[in-house]
Amino acid sequence: MAETVFARPQALADVTTHYCPGCTHGVIHRLVAEVIDELGVRERTVGIAPVGCSVLAYNYFATDFHEAAHGRAPAVATGVKRARPDLIVFSYQGDGDLASIGMAEIIHCANRGEKVTVVFVNNAIYGMTGGQMAPTTLPGQVATTCQLGRDVATAGHPIRVAELISTLRTPAFVARASVHNPLVAVHAKEMLRRAFRYQVEGVCFSLVEILSTCPTNWGIPPAESTSWLEKNMLPYYPVGIFKTPESGSREPRPLPA
């Protein structure tokens, strides 16, 4: 009798996604789905899709879903969770969606301590609209609205969302992870598991920022995108836990060796 050792998570729909070759949105979807399965909450999970490349996430997860207006997913999540506190509610948002147009919604959702989970995908660019500068675009990084590279003198420095949210006094779980190689992806899954568990146990708001690739709009071949991420994004966006409800700490903790 053959034993199944690897299968599609139940919480992931059996469909082909539209993501570009080399895009890690799909990997992050899978990690989220695995965690939902492992916690056994698929039937009571409601996702909130953003506006961005993951706008069709509602087709890719086998859970109930809402599609939200650009940036408003945390507000929609608040509405769902307040109406049905027994549901497990997560939003899945890009950096333009969460850190630009939706900055007010995310800050206040976190500050109210809504017991929802935010999966924040940081790929340092606007993917869906064709490569404009994001609030997370790195200094000097070229985008279609900063064709000479991001000039921090006029565009400011990239926003570190995990650090920012962790300054709030309201108890929360806030972490940053990456998926550019299998080892860090295991850590990312662990962060997601902790984030969802805090919600399942009714403890606190949780947010996991996950560094992700966008070869299409970074203008590099898919095979090089993970090393680009490692070389350019990791130094500015350190991975680790920034805040837990127990400690209230906002000191970044390094990835365990």
Partner 1 sequence: MTKKLMKGSEAIGEAAVQSGCKLFFGYPITPQNEIPEYMSMRLPQVGGTFVQAESEVAASNMIYGAAGSGERVMTSSSSPGISLMAEGISYLAGSELPVVIVNIVRAGPGLGGILPSQGDYFQATKGLGHGDFRVLVLAPWSVQEAADLVQDAFDLADYYRNPVMVLGDGLIGQMMEPVEFRSDRTPIKELPPKTWAATGCDGSRPTNIINSLFLDPEELERHNHKLKAKYDRMVADEIRVATYGAEGDFDVLIVAYGTVARVCSTAIDELREEGLRVALLRPITLFPFPYEAVREAAVQARAVLVVELSSGQMIEDVQLALARSRPVHFLNRMGGMLVSPDEVVAKAKAILDGRSAEVFHG
Ligand X SMILES: Cc1ncc(C[n+]2csc(CCOP(=O)(O)OP(=O)(O)O)c2C)c(N)n1
Task: Give the binding site for partner 1 (CB under 8 A).
Answer: 51, 55, 67, 69-71, 96, 100-101, 103, 126, 128-130, 132-133, 135, 144-147, 154-155
Residue 89: name its binding partner from ligand SF4, ligand X, partner 1, none (Cβ under 5 to 8 Å by kind): none
Side-chain-side CA neighbours of 210 within 13 Å: the count stands at: 35
Q: How many CB atoms lie within 10 A of CB 193?
A: 17
Q: Is 94 in the site for ligand X (CB under 6 A)?
A: yes
Residue closer to ligand X by CB (options 51, 172) is 51
Residue closer to ligand SF4 by CB (options 27, 207) is 27
Q: How many CB atoms lie within 10 A of CB 142?
A: 17
Q: Is 93 in the site for ligand SF4 (CB under 6 A)?
A: no
Q: At what angle do helices 103-111 and 73-83 cross, to 10 degrees?
A: 30
**The dihedral of CA 104, 107, 83, 67: what is its sign?**
positive
- Residue of 27, 235, 33 lying closest to 140 (CA atoms): 235
Between CA 238 and CA 158 the distance in angstroms is 13
Residue closer to partner 1 by CB (options 67, 190) is 67
Residue 215: name its binding partner from ligand X, partner 1, ligand SF4, none (Cβ under 5 to 8 Å by kind): ligand SF4
* The amino acid at 28: I
Q: Is 26 in the site for ligand SF4 (CB under 6 A)?
A: no
Which residues of this chain interact with ligand X, rule CB under 6 A?
A: 51-54, 70, 94-97, 121, 123, 125-129, 134, 214
